[in-house]
Amino acid sequence: MAFNIYDFTTLTKSIHEGLSSQFSPTATLAIEWTIVGLAYLLFVALFGLFLVYAERKVCAAFQQRMGPMRVGPWGLLQTIADFIKLLMKELIMPKNADKFLYNLAPFIVIIVSFLVISVIPFAPGLATFDFDIGIFFVTAVSSVGVIGILLAGWSSNNKYSLIGAMRSGAQIVSYELSVGLSLITMIILAGTMQISGIVEGQRDMWFIFKGHVPAIIAFFVFIIAGTAETNRGPFDLAEAESELTAGFHTEYSGIKFAFFFLAEYINLFIVAAMATTVFLGGWMPLHFGEFESFNQIMDLMPGLFWFFFKVLGVIFLMMWFKWTFPRLRVDQILNLEWKYLLPINLFNILLMAAVVLFGLHF
Partner 1 sequence: MKSIISYITEILKGIWTLLTGMKVTAKYFFTPWKHVTQQYPENRKTLKIAERFRGEVIMPHNENNEHKCTGCGICEINCPNGSIEIITKSLILEDGKKKRAIDQHIYHLGMCTFCNLCVKACPTGAIVMGQNFEHAVWDRSTLTKVLNQPGSKIMEGVKD
Residue 66 touches partner 1, criterion: CB under 8 A: yes
Site for partner 1 in 68-127 (CB under 8 A): 69
Residue 325 touches partner 1, criterion: CB under 8 A: yes
Among 61, 87, 297, 346, binds partner 1 (CB under 8 A): 61
Among 3, 291, 305, 320, binds partner 1 (CB under 8 A): 320
Gap between the Cα atoms of 270 and 278, Å rounded: 12
Rounded to the nearest whole angstrom, what is the least distance from the CB of residue 361 to partner 1 in the complex? 24
* Nearest to partner 1 of 33, 340 (CB atom): 340
Among 1, 34, 65, 354, binds partner 1 (CB under 8 A): 65
Query: At 258, phi and psi to the nearest 5?
Result: -60, -35
Q: Report whether 294 contacts 201 (CB < 8 A).
A: no
Burial 139-162 (b: 16+ CB within 10 A, else e): bebbbebbbbbbbbbbbbebebbb
* Nearest to partner 1 of 57, 249 (CB atom): 57
* Nearest to partner 1 of 258, 351 (CB atom): 351
Site for partner 1 in 336-355 (CB under 8 A): 340, 344
Query: At 265, phi and psi to the nearest 5?
Result: -80, -30
Rounded to the nearest whole angstrom, what is the least distance from the CB of residue 232 to partner 1 in the complex? 16
Residue 332 touches partner 1, criterion: CB under 8 A: no
Among 62, 338, 347, 362, binds partner 1 (CB under 8 A): 62
Q: Which of 199, 209, 201, 204 is nearest to 282 (CA)?
A: 199
Q: How many degrees, rounded to 5, is the angle at CA 316 between CA 313 and CA 317?
A: 90
Among 63, 92, 100, 291, binds partner 1 (CB under 8 A): 63
Q: Report whether 59 contacts 319 (CB < 8 A).
A: yes
Gap between the Cα atoms of 257 and 87, Å rounded: 10
* Nearest to partner 1 of 14, 335 (CB atom): 335
